[in-house]
Amino acid sequence: MEMNRLGAQHQIYLSVAFLLSACTFEIMVHVYDRPLLLALALTFFVTLGSGLAMEFLGFFHTIRPYPRKSDLILVMFAIPPLTVIGERVLGALLLDEIPVPLPKLLVASCVLSIGIFVLHYCVCRFIGVNERRKNVVLCLPALEAISFIRRLSQLGLTNYLTFVSYEQFARVTARGSFQRPVHLVVWSDRSNSGDEETECLVRTHLAGVPIVHVQSMIDSLTGRIDLSLFDLWRYLSRAKPQTGSIRIAWRLKNFSEPLFALLLLFCFAPLMVAVALAIKFSSRGPIIFRQERVGKAGALFTLYKFRTMVSDAESNGPQWAKEKDNRITPLGNILRKTRMDELPQLVNVIRGEMSFCGPRPERPEMYEELEKHIKHYWLRTLVKPGITGWAQIQAGYAASIAESRKKLEYDLYYIQNMSPRLDLIIFIYTVLYALGAHKPREHQEVEYPKEQVVPPVRMAA
């Protein structure tokens, strides 16, 4: 199921928001001194391009009625480049003699980004919320429906949904029409799929209503694949199609990553020298820590990173690295929190052993142990390991087999949904993590106790 489609009412709101914001933008970049044709062309380009880029980056969501505040980063990443490119290209084509200075253009486009986000957020958050509640039909057994609603409540989504039981829905569809709009049907393999229910689901599908498996929807909302319910065929059917354009993007990525890593190595050279000197004078031992890791297809390679632990950290053999490990030096703690200890791995990217985004590589000893205890653990070696990854930003460090299992669930989601967009999101959150503005989800998620009742939700009459 495609989870990033807008309804007609949403599109109207966004069209007005983009139009008003783009017009304001044109006034900000001094439209009075420039040709009217160029002003209109740039307005159209920024309006249309921003909408498409924001949808591509996952700004809109079928279930969540308003964007998250963290999505402002995605908006500001999408609009300024489009604005600068549009200004320069259209200015060259139309022979504009009054180019807008780049600083002024960037400031205006950032203000446009914030304006679009705030307007869209306020409209969706405060105007007609009850009228835009999503009606979700649950074709699920009772206990599974309760568990599903509890999960949505943990994610903060039940306030914007109205749940309709299958019995209520079947009475309506049996008459051949919908009395109220239905936005989504959630079904399960354990539901009673008799002829009557099959006919009802097919009729709903023909009416254009999305139908999604309950576990696939939970996977999409949580960003991980539940290993206890892992099904290979559903996993493959939900995987992002590796179309020709996506495969071309991967070839470009494989070609450009070593070049980009070389550029970053040159740019960060002064910082890396300073870190190396700090390690040298703050604790005894080598500056660069070398360790054998398992790479793509199980190939072994030597991973490089700045040393963050005492020199005899593993005198008693391999051990799990914990979040608050007494073997970590004070400087090493800072390097880990800011991810600066990973900078030497740019050499691994240049050598083609690693990528910027991917599952974190494990040590051979740990890998063999985890493969014995965790089913499907080998799947993570089908892609190149990364300096950062989806599991790294969502679950942080793993200090046990149970935590490694949780990280594998995020790695499987990344492999299933690999795309340039997901890599971009990982990169953004890695930067936010290094700046202290993001905390791994598993460190802030609060689970309901098993005996706790399901929070009140809205059911259709």
Based on the fold, state whether residues 178 and 277 are members of the same structural domain: no
22, 46 Cβ separation under 8 angstroms: yes
Ranges of the chain whose pLDDT falls below 50? 1-9, 11-12, 31-32, 444-461
pLDDT digits (tens, 9 = 90+) for 184-220: 888 887 776 667 777 777 877 887 778 888 888 888 8
Measured CA to CA in angstroms, residue 21 lies from 267, 268, 341 at distances of 36, 37, 42
Residue whose pair of structure tokens reads 């989601």 in the numeric block:
413
Task: Name the residue type at position 72.
Answer: L
Based on the fold, state whether residues 59 and 84 are members of the same structural domain: yes
Beta bridge partners of 328: 309
Based on the fold, state whether residues 334 and 364 are members of the same structural domain: yes
pLDDT digits (tens, 9 = 90+) for 97-107: 556 677 766 77
Residue whose pair of structure tokens reads 């290979």 in the numeric block:
232
Based on the fold, state whether residues 416 and 286 are members of the same structural domain: yes
Kindly provide the residue ranges of all beta strands, DSSP E only, lying in 36-195, ordered along the sequence: 134-139, 161-165, 184-187
Residue 75 parent element (H or E): helix 72-93
334 assigned to some structural domain = yes
Region for 94 from its dihedrals, namely left if φ exceeds 0, alpha if ψ lies in -120 to 50, beta otherwise: alpha
Based on the fold, state whether residues 368 and 383 are members of the same structural domain: yes
Backbone angles phi, psi at 458, to 5 degrees: -90, 125
208, 198 Cβ separation under 8 angstroms: no
Q: How many domains does the chain have?
A: 3
Tell me whether residue 198 is exposed, middle or buried, using C-beta atoms within 10 angstroms of its C-beta: 0 to 12, 13 to 18, 19 or more: exposed
374, 186 Cβ separation under 8 angstroms: no
What's residue 86's pLDDT? Answer: 66
459 assigned to some structural domain = no
Nearest to residue 210, comparing CAs of 4, 387, 372?
4
Based on the fold, state whether residues 81 and 167 are members of the same structural domain: no
Residues 6+ apart with CB under 8 A from 384: 295, 296, 353, 354, 355, 358
122 assigned to some structural domain = yes
What's residue 66's pLDDT? Answer: 58
The CA radius of gyration of the chain, in Å to the nearest whole number, is: 25
Q: What 3-state DSSP class applies to 109? A: helix
191 assigned to some structural domain = yes
What's residue 9's pLDDT? Answer: 45
Based on the fold, state whether residues 342 and 199 are members of the same structural domain: no
Find the CATH number of the domain harbouring 138. 3.40.50
236 assigned to some structural domain = no
Tell me the residue range of the domain where 301 lies: 244-443
Distance of CA 432 to the CA centre of its chain: 13
What's residue 410's pLDDT? Answer: 94
Based on the fold, state whether residues 86 and 171 are members of the same structural domain: no
Based on the fold, state whether residues 256 and 401 are members of the same structural domain: yes
Residue whose pair of structure tokens reads 């079904």 in the numeric block:
187
Based on the fold, state whether residues 18 and 138 are members of the same structural domain: no
1 assigned to some structural domain = no
> Count of CB atoms within 10 A of residue 265's CB?
16
What's residue 454's pLDDT? Answer: 40
Based on the fold, state whether residues 434 and 331 are members of the same structural domain: yes
What's residue 455's pLDDT? Answer: 43
234 assigned to some structural domain = no
What's residue 249's pLDDT? Answer: 80
Based on the fold, state whether residues 268 and 318 are members of the same structural domain: yes
What's residue 342's pLDDT? Answer: 92
Residue 461 parent element (H or E): none
448 assigned to some structural domain = no
